[in-house]
Amino acid sequence: MTPLSPELSFGSSSSSSSISLTIIFSLFSSLLLSTIDARLTLPYNATVPALIVFGDSIVDSGNNNNLATLVKCNFSPYGKDFMGGIPTGRFSNGKIPSDLIADSLGIKQLLPAYLDPNLRTEDLLTGVTFASGGTGFDPLTPKVAAVLSLSKQLELFKEYVGRLNLAVGEERSATIISESMYIVCAGSDDLANTYFTTPFRKLSYDVPSYTDLMLQSASSFVQELYGLGARRIGLISIPPIGCVPSQRTLGGGKDRSCAENYNEAAKLFNTKLSSELNSLKQQLPQSRLVYIDVYYRILDIIQRPQNYGFEVINKGCCGTGKIEVAVLCNDLDPLTCLDVSNYVFWDSYHPTEKAYRSVVEPVLSKHINEFF
């Protein structure tokens, strides 16, 4: 806060004190309003009792901590700017989109991982994330990374529903399930890891047929989730994955430009996903299926970083920023940046909390009415 000038500081005269109090109240009100404005305005009489999230590392708040996998980050410097510097298993320096969405909806500030051993019964009432870093729509993707597949995440969701029934009764549980918001975020690891940088699928599929494989899995997931009672389901598009620092390193040539073949594959899948959701809306009564496009917002941040308060777009804050992620990004590396606020990416694959905020809140505001 800017200090008050001498002529406006507290003094003996009542007029001076009155002016000072007015200014302080005005500044406090502005701060309060800016906090309130961060919350989404829901349609009249609309309620969202809980947020339920599925997907990959972008929305995993610690499920991988409890798996026998190398794809985890429950160590420093992850969590550098999270609640006093605590590494929780979130793949960033601070909060991640699942947290920001829950907060924007006015549900709670943080969305816990379902596999968190400290999860309380009351946490179930307002939602959890089943996401697992390294997973994807392609069933092969989670096998390679030894993480939770989307089908396994659905099994855990069924378990969650059973626990909810025991906690509040089947009637209230059914209401929570039907009125909650569901977010699915996956697909990036399929393209970045399973298709482009390994031979596991490339020998059998070209990009169009591989994105068809991904789409079939995504469509089946949505239909099964609907069959379990979910109605408000949003699927987040794949971002411009070719512009992520690690993919620049692996596929962007000596200049580490954006790997445009990666981006074209992402756009192709996104187009197919949007069309499929429109088709499913007609088939699934009372469904609210929302395609949430983040591709162009993130691309704009990368192309015009100064408009969003960023300086560094082609490498992450951790280590060299060109390839390190998860276990390669650790507190022993002296290269980790000092001012993370200048960076779009925290490690070579995941954005910073500041970058997430630049995407989540405006994009969700754009689409919120489609859920009701």
For 163-192, how does the pLDDT look when each residue is reduced to its tens digit (9 = 90+)? 999 999 999 999 999 999 999 999 999 999
pLDDT at 4: 36
Q: From the candidates 104, 347, 348, 358, which is the catalytic residue?
A: 347
Q: From the candidates 99, 246, 348, 350, which is the catalytic residue?
A: 350
Q: Which helix (H) or strand (E) holds 159?
A: helix 150-168
Tell the residue number behind the tokens 């502005």, with chain if given: 30
Closest CA to 237 of 213, 267, 201: 267
For 248-300, how does the pLDDT look when each residue is reduced to its tens digit (9 = 90+)? 999 999 999 999 999 999 999 999 999 999 999 999 999 999 999 999 999 99
Identify whether 274 is a catalytic site residue.
Answer: no
Domain boundaries, the chain: 52-296
**Integer Cα distance of 290 and 20 in angstroms:** 49
Residue 246: both structure tokens together: 């690690």
Residue 143: both structure tokens together: 């096998």
Contact criterion met (CB below 8 Å) for 323 and 249:
yes
Q: From the candidates 57, 92, 104, 149, which is the catalytic residue?
A: 57
Which amino acid, 84?
A: G
Q: What is the mean pLDDT of the chain?
A: 90
Q: Give the list of residues 6+ apart from residue 267 with CB closer than 8 angstroms, or none.
A: 295
For 108-165, how does the pLDDT look when each residue is reduced to its tens digit (9 = 90+)? 999 999 999 999 999 999 999 999 999 999 999 999 999 999 999 999 999 999 999 9
Q: What is the DSSP letter of 144?
A: H
Which CATH code is given to the segment(s) 52-296? 3.40.50
Residue 124: both structure tokens together: 């179930």
Identify whether 367 is a catalytic site residue.
Answer: no
Q: Give the list of residues 6+ apart from residue 128 with CB closer than 8 angstroms, or none.
A: 52, 53, 111, 112, 113, 114, 119, 160
Peptide bond into 351 cis (omega under 30): no
Tell the residue number behind the tokens 């609640």, with chain if given: 83
Identify whether 57 is a catalytic site residue.
Answer: yes
